[in-house]
Structure 1
């Protein structure tokens, strides 16, 4: 058994042949199951203008799920600071924290949340992408405004990162860090080493605190797990070719898709850092990742077509973790 808190990241995949409204209902259903199974947190990612991912604002999803669950910590993974006014973010999450004491997280990230340049510029009202300095100022301002507008309760702030630069900012501000191992796994160890070495205690966090997010797909057999991972592999292959408009295909359509040798190699290299397979294989991969990173918590993203298969994966993974870890005790 793995004795760490276990959490989940929701990216709201829109299954081919369904609507964004269907994906929204699936998010709700998944949240209820995660709460029932005793998961620690559920975070919502910010995305825009993708046929494969629903554009559901994290503050709205946080409000909905916090109101319809009883145990889960809920929040953003993350709100993308360059797209929003810091004061607005602070007001939204301070209000959520007041409504749901000790259950709200504010994960802050940097990316635009879209591959469409026009959408990225629209989100920033025509401004160019944020520089490192601008991003740092936005995060600092958001934290400062939180303390000003707080209504007796504050959300728990986290900084999302996938590189040394993000880790350096988290260390400088004394924030817990959430490492996007599911996006840039090659950067994880270096980023965490720098974070721990450079960390400055703050009012938000007294010592380094690490959450690592990993892609996890678990099934009773290896063959079934590979079937379930293939639709997302088709989406990733599209991104490798510079195509961000690839929908999230059904397992049948994904089975018929043929990858070229370069795509095969890139997908295999990525999968080697994630946890796809039987419970035994997933347990081994997650235990190794926890040991290699010294993570205080593991978060999984499970981009699987069909809610029933996603829930089954959640159930199988839950059984790999000791009960104290699941409740965050």
Structure 2
């Protein structure tokens, strides 16, 4: 057995006491810590029109993260492709790869990452860049990034960069069997969003591997699972630090988003019995507790799913809490199955 590679997913959250510029600086601080701790990759999400999330343009943030880190791969978790013309994304990530060769990941998602009104504003029309064409758009995008499987692609006459030398690693992201099966059929790396997905994680990974076909970019299945983790020296402290995540999750489900509140504010507001019941079915943070208690459960998740990599996500009020969790999980010595 070998040590499991670890990675980070960040929404670049805005808290009740910070501005967007401060949130971006915190993301840089977190990325530098992940780099120093030996994490494999650092991804930023794409969300729009959300007061708690500053991560609206992954390519812009990735450029900044690459400049402030030395070794870690930086990328998108992910670019919501229905919001963008494939050629635009290809140009952005070809440029990023030119800036930071062999350090760029392009994670692609099918969801809009926002509400329908905002999605329409992004796409400049209700029918533009629909999800129905998603598989074709993925292949078109990849054709500009070195993939040669499409017949007569636009990349034959329209280049994303004049002389590409290396290409980003492309991942398909999702929380459904559809995304897993599509990743397998296209022969792409796959990341399952366990931190908010409601499907059985083992079934999703089985669907990915069952449909996998070798491709020009990947000979064998490669899967990662993203889950949410908050650790602390004792269980009560960990639950206290997870309070902001619970309230953010509830606000998302009731369309009443605000910047991330502090743990103290979360305690003051409390949770109703109905809120507690909802959190029981859809926990805002999947793994909360001491490093000792969390380690066995994380290892079980890895063993059950057979993933080659684990990505850590969490909503916290301060960057120190996340860095502490990254340090704790790094010291666990989780093993590949």
Q: TM-score, normalised by structure 1?
A: 0.92
Q: Does 1:193 align with 2:206?
A: yes
Q: For residue 256 of structure 1, what is the aligned residue in structure 2?
A: 268
Give the 5 Å matches for 1:109-128. 109-115=109-115, 117-128=116-127
Q: Deviation per CA, 1:238-274: give whole Å up to 9, x if none.
A: 223x224233111111011232323212212334982
CA RMSD of aligned residues (A): 2.0
Checking the alignment, whether the CA contact within 8 Å between 1:229 and 1:276 is kept in structure 2 is yes
Checking the alignment, whether the CA contact within 8 Å between 1:215 and 1:300 is kept in structure 2 is yes
Q: For residue 142 of structure 1, what is the aligned residue in structure 2?
A: 141
Specify every segment of 5 or more residues in structure 1 that has no aligned partner in the other structure, as ranges. Answer: none
Distance 1:130 1:188, change over 3 A: farther
How many residues get paired? 322
Shift of 1:130: 5.6
TM superposition outliers: structure 1 runs of 4+ over 6 Å: none
Task: State the secondary structure of the residue aligned to 2:144.
Answer: helix
Checking the alignment, whether the CA contact within 8 Å between 1:82 and 1:112 is kept in structure 2 is yes
1:274 corresponds to which of 269, 272, 286: 286
2:173 corresponds to which of 160, 167, 179: 160
Task: State the secondary structure of the residue aligned to 2:242.
Answer: helix
Checking the alignment, whether the CA contact within 8 Å between 2:229 and 2:286 is kept in structure 1 is yes
Q: Deviation per CA, 1:173-199: give whole Å up to 9, x if none.
A: 100101000011434222211111111
Q: For residue 191 of structure 2, what is the aligned residue in structure 1?
A: 178
**Structure with the greater relative contact order (CA < 8 A, sep ≥ 6): 1 or 2?**
1
Give the 5 Å matches for 1:198-277. 198-240=211-253, 242-271=254-283, 274-277=286-289
Shift of 1:62: 1.1
Specify every segment of 5 or more residues in structure 2 that has no aligned partner in the other structure, as ranges. Answer: 147-154
Shift of 1:168: 1.5
Q: Does 1:21 align with 2:34?
A: no
Task: State the secondary structure of the residue aligned to 2:229.
Answer: strand
Q: TM-score, normalised by structure 2?
A: 0.90
Checking the alignment, whether the CA contact within 8 Å between 2:181 and 2:208 is kept in structure 1 is yes
Give the 5 Å matches for 1:54-65. 54-65=54-65
Shift of 1:92: 1.1
